[in-house]
Every structure is written in C-alpha cells, then in structure tokens.
Amino acid sequence: MELITEPAAWRRLAKEHRRRDERIGFVPTMGALHAGHLSLVEAALGLADFVGLSVFVNPLQFGDRADLEQYPRDLEADLKTAEAAGVGAVFAPAVEEMYPAGQPATVVVPGPLGQILEGASRPGHFAGVATVLTKLFSLTGPCAAFLGEKDFQQLAVVRQVVFDLDLPAEVIGCPTVRERDGLALSSRNRRLSPGERSAARCLHAALLAGRASLARGESPEEAEAAMAAVVESEPLARLDYAAVVEPESLRSPGPAPAGLLRLLVAAFVGPVRLIDNLPARS
C-alpha cells in the first residue's frame, strides 16, 4: 500500500490507474478508522479495481477550535488498518498541502440543503465539507466515492454538490454500522467516558421510539416528541434536534407516505456531539 502526502502525487496516481482502464473507488475519511469505514472499503472493493482512501482532518468544517484539536488522530494505526483491509493507497496530506495559502479564498457553499438541521447547528460546517470534497474529487478524477449513511445530511449535501458542479464522482451511500446495542459507530465515540458511552444508547433508542410512533399511525410531530422524550430522559444527554423529514429535501414531510420518511437525531452526550438516523421502516 502506498502512502501519499502531496496532492499532485495523488492526482498522478489516479491518472495512472485510469490509464490502465481501472475503475477507482475512493473512500474519503478524517481518520480514526473503525468498522464503519471498513464497510465503505469493502463496498468499494466490490465495485472498483483500485481503492484509495484519504485521511484528512479538515479544519474548514470545524466551527469549534477545541473540537478540531480534540478530534482523534492516529495515522500509524489508520495506515495499518487500511492496508489490512485491502486499500491500495492512502492520501494523507498536511493541512498546508491542502490549503497552501491558509484559509482558501474560494469555498463551496451549499444551498438550502446545507442550512438546516446540522447546518443550522454548525454554521459553516457543510461549506467546509463541500469545499474539501470538491478538492478531493477534483484531485482524484472520475471515481466512485463511498460515504456512510450515518451522516445522512452530509450524504445528501455531497450528492447535491456533485450534481450541481458536475464533479467527476459517483456518490454511493452505504448503510450505518452499529455496535450490538445499536450505537452508530463514530470516531467521536472514542471521546466518551464509560458512563457517557452507556448514555449514548439513547440516540438509537430515540429513533426506534420515533419509528414505533409512526408505525402506530401517529403524526411526524408526535414521532418527534417521542424521540425527544427518550433523549431528554437521559441525564447525561442534551438534545439538539429530533426530526422526521422527507429524505430528499430533509424538510418536514408533506403528503409523503410515512414509510418513506427519515428520522434524525442529534444530541450532546457529555461534551461529545453525536448524530444518528434511521428510515421510518426497517
């Protein structure tokens, strides 16, 4: 497995694989690799001839400096994990390589889809995501890009950016990977204390409560209230939002059948902010 740290070298590598008429699978990550990331690699290996993975903690998508500084980093462990999973090359640039002039003068600002829910709670977050992925897709060139459904709104935003800007990537969403108790895998879980880790189960429990509410024929508003009640009953958790939305627009549902809806929840567990989501029907 190759380790590449310079953008120009990554572009050359991708071009070389395309010259061999190989389909490129690309898994963009911020490192701290876990089984959720490996499920993306597995999906990529099933569809592509060559799989590359990026490890880059993108400062543009962090509004809170402390959150950026506390984000887990272990490149050596990530490289071992990626190689064992069958990744052909890892692109792990320094911030100075990706943004040589410091804060870039040009950023990609998503439209309305990036301004609600996560966008409202984390102003500027999706502009940072859209900007770095536009750069990564431009460097990689034509590829199939694999992203997890755990970050459901991010997946929708990235698809919109790729469509609007005709970026050379086919975005493929992959199912959320969970612990046995339902907690969605996330690099942020590493920051939870044992007590907080136990409390974090309330996010998945809230989603199940919302799903059950809809199954009983209750309204989306009633399902949201059921979700909120579960999180608010956990002393170590603080609810940010609980929402039932249409999966395309992420807006409150109109006349769409309940089975087509998506349930989303975000909450702080201790100091760590976590998100999760489920379709209205399993």
Helix axes 220-232, 201-215, angle to 10 degrees: 150
Q: Is residue 17 flagged as an active site residue? A: no
What DSSP line would sit under 136-193, residue for residue?
Answer: HHHHH-SEEEEEETTSHHHHHHHHHHHHHHT-SEEEEEEPPPB-TTSPBP-GGGGG--
CB atoms within 10 A of CB 112: 11
Catalytic residue, from 17, 34, 37, 204: name it.
Answer: 37
All residues at 6 or more sequence positions from 268 whose CB lies less than 8 Å from its CB, including other chains = 237, 238, 240, 274
The whole-angstrom separation of Cα 37 and Cα 266 is 21
What does the DSSP 8-state code read for residue 14? H
| Residues noted as catalytic | 37
